[in-house]
Amino acid sequence: MKIDYKKQNGFSLIELAFALLIMGIITAGVLSRYNIYIKDRQYNRTYTVLSDINSALQDYATTFGFYPCPSDQSASIGNSAYGKSVACTDLTPIPNCSVLGQGVCKTIGSPVVIIGGVPFKELHLNEKEVYDAWGGRITYALTATLRPLTSVLSPLPAGEIIVEQSDDVGSVITDAHYVLIASGPMGVGAFNKNGTVSRTCNLSQSEGENCDQDATFASDANSQWRNLVEGTDYFDDFVRYEQNVNAQEWNIEAATPDDLRFSYDRVGIGITDADPNTDLHVVGDIMVDDWAKADTVCNGDTDPATAECFDPEDIAGSKSGMRCDSNSSLFGDQAMIGIANEKVKCKLAIDPAAAIPAPCPTGYLAVGFLSTGELNCQLF
């Protein structure tokens, strides 16, 4: 019997090889598209994380008038300092940036920039929102003059952080309030959940500018110059920075000064040249259609120690000091002619020493007084 080894179960070896080739091509295409899908998800997640942190920082500055200081990135999960802003009113305890890989430090010289992690506890963010898609902590660098101080910064002054393009082409920003950096797929210079740096900062590469712990950083300009080829131009960082506090709908606009103006914990209406200096500061008239209630009414003096104020109950209430006779009744023989020193000023309705005018003749009715003091009599 002759056996045909080229054909088994109805398929020749050539047909089987051809089928395997087709399956390989299809699989390669699917894997390629899947890899692209995974990368897109990682990129989108990282951009979302940066955007959420940025929004939280903007909201914080709008509310308090300054930004929170960075956290110590070397603090691991479970440590009380993990994700908590370091004390920074006094910069002395914060170490100088002298070696690579410090969890938090301040740059040497001028300007002073505090570099560390995102203080998610102060920003009320979830812990997961301060890591990029590859497990690296987001770096947060803040202009030191915008840190929490004893007084509210109003308005916020310009920042002092320098941000340049990663390809050394284009404009250089010199007044950024803060910078947020995600170290990307390679994680160069990024701290992990254990509070250690997974991959040491490479100062020979373009992205080394973002982990050399000075006051200058590099931006990928929305990935236009992202370079994933190993070498001196390698750059896979994701960068977000702000030069001011984003305008809120409650902020004043120069073209419409009568709009509401929100200044952290104060609201002003019609304020054109200064921030509101009281909780509610209105320049202009106020119309109230219904009830208007106040415990105290004062003059324009903003100093509580010298302001002249009175209790509205002095007018609208039933205080005895606001009555003209000892019986707390206006039905006596006195009349109120004014208010002074939280009391009414009273005078007798009829002066006892005054001459009593002669009555009107019969058939006449008194309708007033003449300049002579006599009754003005008219026929009834």
Give the residue extent of every domain in the chain.
7-242, 260-348, 355-380
Alpha carbon distance 68, 146 (integer Å): 9
Asked whether the CA dihedral 369, 375, 379, 380 is positive or negative, the reply is: positive
Report, as an integer, the average pLDDT of 195-211: 89
219 vs 140 pLDDT, higher one: 140
Hunting for tokens 């206006």 — which residue is that? 330
Mean pLDDT across 317-331: 62
| pLDDT at residue 133 in the model | 92
Determine the 3-state secondary structure of 45 from DSSP: helix
3-state secondary structure of 256: strand
Whether residue 277 contacts residue 267, with contact meaning beta carbons closer than 8 Å, is answered with: no
Q: What is the pLDDT of residue 253?
A: 43
pLDDT tens-place string over residues 145-161: 999 875 655 578 889 99
Q: Is the model's pLDDT at 217 over the cut of 60?
A: yes
**Predicted pLDDT at 355:** 74
The residue type at 347: K
Q: What is the pTM of this model?
A: 0.60
Structure-token pair, residue 66:
């300054």
**Is the torsion defined by CA of 160, 166, 167, 169 positive or negative?**
negative
Eight-class DSSP state of 282: E
Please spell the DSSP secondary structure of 349-369, one letter per residue: SS-TTSPPPPPPPTTEEEEEE
Tens-place pLDDT, residues 253-307:
444 545 555 555 567 777 766 667 777 888 788 888 888 888 888 877 777 778 8
Report CA dihedral (228, 73, 101, 231) to the nearest 10 degrees: 0
Task: Determine the 3-state secondary structure of 182 from DSSP.
Answer: strand
Per DSSP (E only), the strands in 53-125 are 105-106, 113-117
Separation CA 190–CA 208 (nearest Å): 11
- What pLDDT sits at residue 117? 96
Residues 219-255: b if buried by 16+ CB within 10 A, e if exposed: bbeeeebbbeeeeeebbbbbbbbbeebeeeeeebeee
Instruction: Give the residue-averaged pLDDT of 221-244.
Output: 78
Asked if residue 250 has pLDDT above 60, the reply is: no
Q: Note the pLDDT of residue 157.
A: 85
Contacts of 135 (CB under 8 A, 6+ apart): 187, 192, 193, 198
SS3 content of the chain, % helix, strand, coil (to 5): 20, 25, 55
pLDDT tens per residue across span 53-98: 999 999 888 878 889 999 999 999 989 999 999 999 999 999 999 9
> Does residue 264 or residue 41 have the better pLDDT?
41
Pick the more confident residue, 257 or 373. Answer: 373
Across residues 8-13, what is the average pLDDT? 60
